[in-house]
Amino acid sequence: MPNLTEFRVKPIGVIHTPFTDKAQTPIQATRSDAAGAVDVEPAYADGLQDLEGFSHIILIYLFHQSEGYSLRVKPFLDDRLRGLFATRYPARPNPIGLSVVRLTARKGIRLEIEGVDMLDGTPLLDIKPYVAEFDVRTGTRTGWYENRSVR
Amino acid sequence: MPNLTEFRVKPIGVIHTPFTDKAQTPIQATRSDAAGAVDVEPAYADGLQDLEGFSHIILIYLFHQSEGYSLRVKPFLDDRLRGLFATRYPARPNPIGLSVVRLTARKGIRLEIEGVDMLDGTPLLDIKPYVAEFDVRTGTRTGWYENRSVR
């Protein structure tokens, strides 16, 4: 199998949120009203132009407080063991997180955001604009999630 | 600024698609009907359980043929320079791609998928289930994309 060599990623900024304790961090951005901010490294400032035209952005980041992983986990919203890749559980072989947040303002290299569900100090890897035409799927089946034990 | 040290990621599998030429690769999964497959490393097989209950999955992968980046780029669907992070352009500081694809079958460690928009041999970093309740946003503003030059 090709291409299984290691790659390096380097954070381009940091995500600030009110959450310093995993147990009090919201499960998923859609379950959060909390405000936060992204501080992007000044070297990347020019790359932020035009972002303010978008109401929502996708943040790709590191679950920096996750160590190790299990291939079968109990999701936060269920009480049965599930395959890790069928969950959004943070401890993963590559601990990469993904959240869609509201972008309320851009002030230079600072992005003001709402609906944060990550820990304070989370290292940011990438920002992408959320584009409904690319990112919305309807009529989806969601397996165990539809019959989960926790609502 | 904390947490700006490098991290290592290691592919967990590879994505097979019909596309070997960047110029003929679809722009975004929603513009593709092409079938492909994901081969996950056998070591991660147990993590794939329950995935078949989901009709759509999020693939997180490396844009392995991107080298370097510019902070202002012309998106594929526009003719003006835009801030890189306001685009889905593949050449990025961390060349991490994100596509939502249809999962049509799981056969052991092979996932059969549809709607692929990445190059053949793309290194896979993570698989997450697509959950409308987490991933769908409605009433979004999409900046330059709404007034783009190419439809």
What is the per-residue pLDDT across B104-137, written as a single tens digit (0 to 9) for each? Answer: 999 999 999 999 989 999 999 999 999 988 898 9
**What mean pLDDT is reported for chain A?**
92
Closest CA in chain B for residue A126: B94
**What mean pLDDT is reported for chain B?**
92
- For residue B98, list chain A residues with Cβ-Cβ distance below 8 A: 58, 60, 98, 128
- For residue A110, list chain B residues with Cβ-Cβ distance below 8 A: none
Q: Which of residues 72-131 of A touch B (CB under 8 A)?
A: 72, 82-88, 92-94, 96, 98, 100, 121-123, 125-131
Residue B66 has pLDDT above 50, yes or no: yes
Please write the tens of the pLDDT for every residue from A74-86: 988 888 999 999 9
Percentage of chain A surpassing pLDDT 90?
Answer: 70
- Cβ–Cβ of A88/B131 closer than 8 Å? yes
Residue A19 near residue A35 (C-beta atoms within 8 A): no
Percentage of chain B surpassing pLDDT 90?
Answer: 70
ipTM of the complex: 0.93
Listed in sequence order, the residues at least 6 apart from A43 whose beta carbon sits closer than 8 Å to its beta carbon are none
Rank A1-10, A86-95, B17-26, B70-79 by mean pLDDT and report only the highest: A86-95
Residue B1 has pLDDT above 80, yes or no: no
Quick one: average pLDDT of B89-102? 96
Helix ranges (H only) for A1-151 are 132-135, 143-146
Among B11, B30, B122, the residue with its CB nearest the CB of A4 is B11
**Which of A106, A124, A16 has its CA nearest to residue B93?**
A124
pLDDT at position A31, please?
80
Percentage of chain A surpassing pLDDT 70?
Answer: 97
**CA A88 centroid distance within chain:** 10
Quick one: average pLDDT of B57-79? 93
Nearest-CA distance from B76 to chain A in Å?
Answer: 14
Listed in sequence order, the residues at least 6 apart from A8 whose beta carbon sits closer than 8 Å to its beta carbon are B6, B7, B8, B9
pTM above 0.90, yes or no: yes
Question: Is A17 in CB contact (< 8 Å) with chain B?
Answer: no
